[in-house]
Amino acid sequence: MYDFPEIWRLELGVYIDIFIDWLKTNYGTFFDVINDVILWSMVYVEKFLQWLPWWFVVAIVFILGWRLKNLFSGLVFALLIFIVGTFGLWDLMMSTLTIVLASVIISLLIGIPIGIFMTNSSHLDAIIKPILDGMQTMPSFVYLIPAVILFALGKVPAVFATTIYALPPVIRLTNLGIRQVPKEMVEAAESFGSSRWQLLTKVQLPQALPTIMAGINQTTMMALAMVVISSMIGAKGLGMEVLIAINRLDIARGFESGLSIVFLAIIIDRISQYIANRFETS
Amino acid sequence: MTVKVKVEHVTKIFGPYPKAILEKVKSGGSKNEILAHTGHTIGVYDASFEVHAGETFVIMGLSGSGKSTLIRCLNLLNRPTDGNIYIDDENIVNYTKKELLALRKKKLAMVFQHFGLLPHRNVLRNVEYGLEVRGISKEERTKTAKTVLAGVGLEGWEDKKISELSGGMQQRVGLARALANDPDILLMDEPFSALDPLIRREMQYELLDIQAKLKKTIIFITHDVNEAFKIGDRVAVMKDGKIEQIGTPKELITNPQTQYIEEFIKDIDRSKVMQARNVMFKTSALVYLKDGPRVALKAMESNGISSVFVVSSERKLKGIVTIEDTIRAIKEDQPLEDILKNDFYTTGPDTYIQELIPMATDTKYPIAVTDENDKLLGIIVRVSVLSGLV
Ligand SMILES: Nc1ncnc2c1ncn2[C@@H]1O[C@H](COP(=O)(O)OP(=O)(O)O)[C@@H](O)[C@H]1O
Ligand SMILES: [Mg+2]
């Protein structure tokens, strides 16, 4: 009487399963190509990052912190990343960084153009805004499902899930940044006969840059958060260390890898924010 | 005079269905009602005027009267809902995108109230903008931009950031940017309204200077009647989206056709606008040299005046005679030549009343207005200068 009637079982999952099967048989090559391209480029990026001498990376982080902010920041950042090395997690950190990097780059390649197109059409704006809202309210775990369905396990579905999760801020803030350009400035450019492209590249994008940079910062931070979660679908990296530690109740291992993620987040956040601020003031 | 810009029955309605609203307004529906019910705004209604090549045409009106809407129709930043706009006899309202870009690049340039400069570029690169859009080489556009900047008094400021400049200087950059394109037509939407009064005056004079040299066709917008009358060859007065009257400053002052315009010109300092020709009498009270003192006396008696100008048979001004001297001359049988006086002031017809004030306070005779051949055109009585009741 109180239980939900079992006969009202809607087998939606079965249909989705059929749909995905259909997708794979008909567009399988398409997903394979995407898979291969992403995987191939990631392997090289990862190899490159792991090939970099550790002291070189520490030095770069130090110099960025120092030049962009001050000597103290540089020293702190260098120390933090050095500590990650002392935990024995250097290579895993680079794996995590690779996925973050790939996801952010893909997010920007997709997100910035979408943000720009949204400023041209109020219809598009009205369609995409609620989708973005939806994307941001959805728990991040949910993105793992389509990722696994389309790309099985490993790095590529991790990048896929991370990209989708990290996409909204850069779209939003590109759109906002361009809409915020003072009307008179746009009109002045138009009154001199600027084409749409000239208006965009000579006026709107340069003016919106500080806002877009803020969006890139947010996207990067979201990517980092998602990368940790996507360890669940087999992305090697710091997140996976945490996952293993939880499963084995290995406090030492969990603490070290957890702390490493925090350090990495601090460094990436601060440095990308400093870069964004640079654009603001110039 | 060649007509450079011709605006014919231009209407601009803002809102989702401007054409449909236009039909209703045209077929005589109550405008305010239609607008209130449909959420449309009439920016400009049925505006027509012509601007001649080399003329400075001012559009004046209170805030919200549709000035910006109208001027922005001229470079199609606003597409008119109805009507035609001819530039050099070509109707631009149906221009394709390509034709429009070409028009904006070649013929028109605009100066904005809040300057509309690009803060991420330095002064020089701002001035280069129009040239850059036209695809002119870096070398050439730098050269042009530098020349134009020097022309507006900003030599040596090329590398400065926009934010380092005062408002007046920023608008000089805005003006330079427009002039760098060497447009035929300069559209200026309240270019000086955001500036301090002193700077504004300076800029007004500078614009007059530049215009004297370059002879562009200028369409200039202002809400300040003094500015309008100082700068404009002709002025159109707008109210609620409609043009109320078009005329020279003097025509508007001497013959305002509506209450609204009368209100407007209350603010004006007339002595700076009115010229001798506007206040002189083409008097019948003058005497020819050959007529003799008796005729002179009669002319004074019948006009109730105590002195009269004497002219030659070609109407050349010879002098003035007073009533005392004339009576004495009749008694002593002297000719007019012997009693002619020359201690009065003479002026040309284009002199501003402002400059006549010191003369008027210094003389007991009227001021004679003569042309370049010394012909007497009329006289100005002192009271009309001094009382300001011109
Ligand atoms: N883009 C627009 N959308 C809707 N209404 C507008 C728009 N631009 C101007 N208007 C309206 O048109 C009228 C005239 O405005 P405007 O031409 O800017 O006046 P002015 O420049 O004389 O101050 C105002 O009522 C204004 O609200
Ligand atoms: Mg305006």
Q: Which candidate from B110, B120, B133 shows the least CB-CB separation from A207?
A: B120
Predicted structure pTM score: 0.75
**The amino acid at A282:** S
Atom of ligand 1 nearest to the CA of B62: 22
> pLDDT (tens digit, 0 to 9) for every residue of chain B, 390 residues total?
789 999 999 999 998 888 888 888 777 766 677 777 888 888 999 999 999 999 999 999 998 899 999 999 999 999 999 999 999 989 999 899 999 999 999 999 999 999 999 999 999 999 999 999 999 999 999 999 999 999 888 888 989 999 999 888 999 999 999 999 999 999 999 999 988 888 888 889 889 988 988 899 999 999 988 888 889 999 999 998 899 999 998 888 888 888 888 887 777 767 777 778 878 887 777 888 888 888 888 888 888 888 889 988 888 888 999 888 888 888 888 888 888 888 898 898 888 887 888 888 888 888 999 988 888 888 888 777 776 544
Ligand 2 geometric centre to CA of B223 (Å):
9
Domain total in chain B: 2
Q: Which residue's CA is the nearest one to ligand 1's atom 1?
A: B14
Q: Which residue's CA is the nearest one to ligand 1's atom 18?
A: B68
Q: How far is A192 from chain B (nearest CA, A)?
A: 5
- Three-state SS string across chain A, please? CCCCCHHHCCCHHHHHHHHHHHHHHHHHHHHHHHHHHHHHHHHHHHHHHHHCCHHHHHHHHHHHHHHHCCHHHHHHHHHHHHHHHHCCCHHHHHHHHHHHHHHHHHHHHHHHHHHHHHHHCHHHHHHHHHHHHHHHHCCHHHHHHHHHHHHCCCHHHHHHHHHHHHHHHHHHHHHHHHHCCCHHHHHHHHHCCCCHHHHHHHHHHHHHHHHHHHHHHHHHHHHHHHHHHHHHHCCCCHHHHHHHHHHHCCHHHHHHHHHHHHHHHHHHHHHHHHHHHHHHHC
Do B371 and B234 share a structural domain?
Answer: no
For residue A125, give every residue at least 6 positions away whose Cβ sits within 8 Å of its Cβ, in sequence order, or none.
A118, A119, A175
B190 and B203 Cβ atoms separated by less than 8 Å: no
A6-51+87-281, what's its fold?
A: MetI-like fold (1.10.3720)
Q: How far is B109 from chain A (nearest CA, A)?
A: 6
- Three-state SS string across chain B, please? CCEEEEEEEEEEEECCCHHHHHHHHHCCCCHHHHHHHHCCEEEEEEEEEEEECCCEEEEEECCCCCHHHHHHHHCCCCCCCEEEEEECCEECCCCCHHHHHHHHHHCEEEECCCCCCCCCCEHHHHHCHHHHHCCCCHHHHHHHHHHHHHHCCCCCCCCCEHHHCCHHHHHHHHHHHHHHCCCCEEEEECCCCCCCHHHHHHHHHHHHHHHHHHCCEEEEEECCHHHHHHHCCEEEEEECCEEEEEECHHHHHHCCCCHHHHHHHHCCCHHHCCEHHHHCECCCCEEEHHHCHHHHHHHHHHHCCCEEEEECCCCEEEEEEEHHHHHHHHHHCCCHHHHCECCCCEECCCCEHHHHHHHHHHCCCCEEEECCCCEEEEEECHHHHHCCCC
Inside any domain, residue B166: no
Say whether B77 and A190 touch across the interface (CB within 8 A): yes
B38 and B21 Cβ atoms separated by less than 8 Å: yes
Determine the pLDDT at residue B105. Answer: 92
The CATH number covering residue B314 comes to 3.10.580.10
Ligand 1 geometric centre to CA of B30 (Å):
20
Ligand 1 contact, B66 CB (< 6 A): yes
Do B196 and B69 share a structural domain?
Answer: yes
Task: Tell me how far CA of residue B389 lies from CA of A257, B23, B204, B353, B384, in angstroms.
Answer: 91, 47, 27, 11, 6
Interface test with B, best of A122, A178, A192 (most B CBs within 10 A): A192
Do B328 and B245 share a structural domain?
Answer: no
Determine the pLDDT at residue A170. Answer: 93
Do B219 and B74 share a structural domain?
Answer: yes
Say whether B104 and A191 touch across the interface (CB within 8 A): yes
Ligand 1 contact, B14 CB (< 6 A): yes
Say whether A191 and B117 touch across the interface (CB within 8 A): no
Atom of ligand 1 nearest to the CA of B221: 21
A227 and B167 Cβ atoms separated by less than 8 Å: no
CA angle B302, B306, B311 (to 5 degrees): 80
Extract the tokens encoding A155.
């790095």
Extract the tokens encoding A176.
């906002």
Q: Which of B268, B296, B325 is the last residue of a domain?
A: B268
Is residue A156 pLDDT above 90, yes or no?
A: no
Do B332 and B289 share a structural domain?
Answer: yes
Say whether A193 and B134 touch across the interface (CB within 8 A): yes
What average pLDDT does the segment A171-186 reach? 93
Inside any domain, residue B361: yes
Q: Show me where the domains of chain A are located.
A: 6-51+87-281
Residue of B38 and A208 predicted with greater confidence = A208
Ligand 1 contact, B18 CB (< 6 A): no
CA angle B260, B263, B267 (to 5 degrees): 140
Extract the tokens encoding B140.
């050439």
Assign A282 a pLDDT band (cuts: 50, 70, 90). Answer: low
Is residue A138 pLDDT above 90, yes or no?
A: no
* φ, ψ dihedrals at A232, nearest 5°: -65, -25
Atom of ligand 1 nearest to the CA of B65: 22
Do B378 and B236 share a structural domain?
Answer: no
Determine the pLDDT at residue B338. Answer: 86
Ligand 1 contact, B64 CB (< 6 A): yes
Determine the pLDDT at residue B388. Answer: 54
Least confident of A23-27, A115-119, B64-68, B162-166: A23-27
Do B11 and B90 share a structural domain?
Answer: yes
For residue A27, give every residue at least 6 positions away whose Cβ sits within 8 Å of its Cβ, in sequence order, or none.
none
Say whether A193 and B130 touch across the interface (CB within 8 A): yes
Ligand 2 geometric centre to CA of B60 (Å):
10
Q: Which of B240, B268, B296 is the last residue of a domain?
A: B268
Chain A residue numbers with beta carbons less than 8 Å from the beta carbon of B119 are: 207
Ligand 2 geometric centre to CA of B108 (Å):
18
Determine the pLDDT at residue A281. Answer: 58
Q: Are strands B217-222 and B56-61 parallel, antiparallel or unpaired?
A: parallel
Do B220 and B346 share a structural domain?
Answer: no
Closest-approach residue (CA) in chain A for B175? A188
Inside any domain, residue B155: no
Determine the pLDDT at residue B199. Answer: 87
Ligand 1 contact, B240 CB (< 6 A): no
Q: Residues 180-219, chain A: which have Cβ within 8 Å of B?
A: 182, 184-185, 187-195, 198, 202-203, 206-207, 209
Do B290 and B246 share a structural domain?
Answer: no
CA distance A83 to B257: 85
Long-range contacts of A11-19 (CB under 8 A, 24+ apart): none
Chain A CB within 8 Å of residue B107 CB: no
Determine the pLDDT at residue A280. Answer: 65
Q: Which residue's CA is the nearest one to ligand 1's atom 7?
A: B14
Determine the pLDDT at residue B387. Answer: 64
Determine the pLDDT at residue B230. Answer: 86
Q: Which candidate from A182, A191, A207 shows the least CB-CB separation from B110?
A: A191
Q: Which candidate from B72, B133, B177 shows the least CB-CB separation from A193?
A: B133
Chain B CB within 8 Å of residue A281 CB: no
Interface test with B, best of A123, A191, A199 (most B CBs within 10 A): A191
What average pLDDT does the segment A158-174 reach? 90
Extract the tokens encoding B181.
């394109």
Chain A residue numbers with beta carbons less than 8 Å from the beta carbon of B104 are: 190-193
* φ, ψ dihedrals at A28, nearest 5°: -55, -45
Ligand 1 contact, B41 CB (< 6 A): yes
Chain A CB within 8 Å of residue B77 CB: yes
- Using one digit for the tens of pLDDT, what is the confidence trace for A53-102? 888 888 888 998 898 888 898 898 889 888 888 888 888 888 888 888 88
CA distance A126 to B241: 33
Measured between its terminal Cα atoms, the distance across chain B in Å is 30
Do B379 and B323 share a structural domain?
Answer: yes
Q: Which of B268, B294, B317 is the last residue of a domain?
A: B268
Ligand 1 contact, B68 CB (< 6 A): yes
Q: What is the mean pLDDT of chain A?
A: 86
Q: Which residue's CA is the nearest one to ligand 1's atom 8?
A: B69
Do B242 and B281 share a structural domain?
Answer: no
Which among B10, B63, B76, B3 has a CA at the least distance from the CA of B234?
A: B3
CA distance B115 to B324: 65
For residue A117, give every residue at least 6 positions away whose Cβ sits within 8 Å of its Cβ, in sequence order, or none.
A124
Do B222 and B293 share a structural domain?
Answer: no
Determine the pLDDT at residue B389. Answer: 46
Domain that holds residue B304: 277-387
The CATH number covering residue B221 comes to 3.40.50.300
Inside any domain, residue B132: no
Ligand 1 geometric centre to CA of B66 (Å):
6
Among B32, B67, B68, residue to substitute to test ligand 1 (most atoms within 8 Å of Cβ)? B68
- Using one digit for the tens of pLDDT, what is the confidence trace for A214-259? 898 889 888 888 888 888 888 788 888 888 888 888 888 888 888 8
